[in-house]
Structure 1
């Protein structure tokens, strides 16, 4: 969500992602080892309690992702039934959307159900849902067949990878020759836009809304066209040939874009709102900040403020929840470029208010004050927020 230091090598990051995603250990059991290995890389945690890793990680709360295997959680109330009855694999893709928003997404072509099937060696993969609204691209792949593993995502790491762990038993269980791997795991898909590889932040994991599916999501997309051919290519362990899907994607240009270029300042900190984009499924916030984050009275001594975060509330009273929150195992930088996704604004909203805030951390261990987890390590509360009233900004969306 910000300017990241020192990108982590892809191969080693993928090994770490695989290990974290597939290790059924207590949430704190590997924290020291990981922090010693990766220092200050950035990690994001999904606001619904599950966690998801970006291409770059921070060590701040990395222990909290132990045992979390899904990229997102979905809750569907009975009122969504009419809009969802034709949509298989209800789950991560629909988190934060109500039935009206889902129906509008279907009507505008943002959400489609290709239901393309490919069968190889007794295993069938189906591309069930595709969501593209100009700010994020998500899709779900379902798996079917006989005698399949319980989990869907592959736990294996390539044999030529240089592992960063001294745990020989773990390496032996994950670095397995292909001919000895258990059959039926889905590997990380590759995504292409008009035959060119998509380069964007991505999340991948078991879809907890569908026990036999994987969910893939890309954000920070840059500039993609409103119409393109989507190619998804993935492999299944112990199946020689890759599975490939090609589907057309086309959306109407219904995205609302405002570019205020307005700046708010307080003490030594300021931020400039460069752009807001609003669709029926998401709100995208793009801004840059500079300066030292203001500290409140409770953020002194061993307690300190985090980097600045931004809450959005529309004029209908709806709080637009941020899809991911990034935490850092160190003091905040003096400059950030923020590009984040939030819930959709209310259909009749004419303006929103941006409310900057910080969390408080204990600098002895960099833990967030007030963060609460349940017995499974899922986030109940992200922590105590300190709002900076002087930095609030009202943004007009519609005249």
Structure 2
């Protein structure tokens, strides 16, 4: 299989783990297995849903979908957990209008939506996030503007799974679409910015890598900063060369919304140093502050005006 990989923020890269799905040296990803549903209740009036098993209730609320990505808050109540909620979740899955995201694109990782968990402000809260594969080249299926979301979760030590259903409606906010195509080159590699779409919750960016330097295509990772030098949080990021016949890599990154005074976004490609300099996978080399040592490629750096 050609390479499909998920690139995380610097903090998450150190652990190489997101939402129970490990993305290691880029060629493999753990597959989740299906689970049955039981004991579901919901409150349509407040768009909050919940499911209870063995005295532990999982509440799903505060859903947000801006057309770039989906986020739902999950909170445990009732019987106290013996560890953080994110550590208790053994399996999770979502269905869009009854269709599992693992069925998108015939089950191909390159053609299906992402799914992850991130820790919340306290031990009993996690955020479930997902984005479709429609910006990964070809004609990949996008999430509809309105759909029924089904969330399935299995907790460690709880026999029966949790299942919750809630309606999702894309926010009425009109996104800002930025027409700023540009291309940068480094040796035999070119990087072309294709799409940028911003909302008050997130900014989504698409670019394509093409050329003969397949090794660099594989190894590059990305940081994002605004014109004030503030690092921009990555909410989701993925890339693949499977959805086109030319072997080009399509990248789709979603970053947190910019501060109101920000005037630009800079994409900063880099290659991380490996702990073993001869290795192509494994642990990254860290500096004295525990940060990944990065070698930035200034030739490919892109600045996008947002004002």
Instruction: Give the TM-score band, short-chain normalised.
Output: 0.5 to 0.7
Pair 350,124 (structure 1): closer, same or farther in 2 beyond 3 Å: same
Contact 2:115–2:131 under 8 Å retained in 1 = yes
Q: Which residue of 1 aligns with 2:41?
A: none
User: Alpha-carbon deviations, 1:191-230, whole Å to 9, x = none?
Assistant: 222333334111237x353223443221345322333332
Contact 1:266–1:391 under 8 Å retained in 2 = yes
1:140-155 equivalence runs, <5 A: 140-146=73-79, 148-152=81-85
1:358-397 equivalence runs, <5 A: 358-361=271-274, 363-366=277-280, 370-372=285-287, 380-388=290-298, 390-397=299-306
TM-score, length of structure 1 as denominator length = 0.53
Secondary structure at the aligned position of 1:272 is classed as strand
Q: Which residue of 2 aligns with 1:169?
A: none
Q: Which residue of 1 aligns with 2:95?
A: 192
Q: Which residue of 1 aligns with 2:34?
A: none
Quick one: distance in 1 between partners of 2:148 and 2:302?
A: 39
Quick one: distance in 1 between partners of 2:114 and 2:160?
A: 28
Quick one: distance in 2 between partners of 1:373 and 1:128?
A: 40
Pair 131,325 (structure 1): closer, same or farther in 2 beyond 3 Å: closer
* Alpha-carbon shift at residue 286 of structure 1 (Å): 0.8
* Alpha-carbon shift at residue 244 of structure 1 (Å): 2.1
* Alpha-carbon shift at residue 396 of structure 1 (Å): 3.6
* Alpha-carbon shift at residue 147 of structure 1 (Å): 6.1
Pair 189,319 (structure 1): closer, same or farther in 2 beyond 3 Å: closer
Q: Which residue of 2 aligns with 1:52?
A: 17
User: Alpha-carbon deviations, 1:118-169, whole Å to 9, x = none?
Assistant: 3345332211332322222122322223364435468xxxxxxxxxxxxxxx
RMSD of the TM alignment (CA)? 4.0
* Alpha-carbon shift at residue 317 of structure 1 (Å): 4.4
Q: Which residue of 1 aligns with 2:139?
A: none
Q: Which residue of 1 aligns with 2:52?
A: 119
Pair 146,320 (structure 1): closer, same or farther in 2 beyond 3 Å: closer
Q: Which residue of 2 aligns with 1:309?
A: 221
1:7-156 equivalence runs, <5 A: 42=5, 44-49=7-12, 51-53=16-18, 57-59=23-25, 114-146=47-79, 148-152=81-85
Q: Which residue of 1 aligns with 2:153?
A: 234
Larger Rg: 1
Pair 253,322 (structure 1): closer, same or farther in 2 beyond 3 Å: same
Contact 1:141–1:213 under 8 Å retained in 2 = yes
Q: Which residue of 2 aligns with 1:91?
A: none
Secondary structure at the aligned position of 2:76 is classed as strand
Q: Does 1:337 align with 2:250?
A: yes
Pair 349,226 (structure 1): closer, same or farther in 2 beyond 3 Å: farther
TM-score, length of structure 2 as denominator length = 0.66
Pair 356,292 (structure 1): closer, same or farther in 2 beyond 3 Å: farther
Q: Which residue of 1 aligns with 2:241?
A: none
Structure 2: stretches of 5+ with no match in the other structure:
29-45, 102-111, 135-141, 239-246
Give the counterpart of 1:271 among 173, 191, 215. 191
Quick one: distance in 1 between partners of 2:202 and 2:217?
A: 28
Quick one: distance in 2 between partners of 1:6 and 1:266?
A: 21
Quick one: distance in 2 between partners of 1:371 and 1:138?
A: 31
Q: Which residue of 1 aligns with 2:210?
A: 290
> Which has the larger strand fraction?
2
Contact 2:226–2:262 under 8 Å retained in 1 = yes
Contact 1:269–1:290 under 8 Å retained in 2 = yes
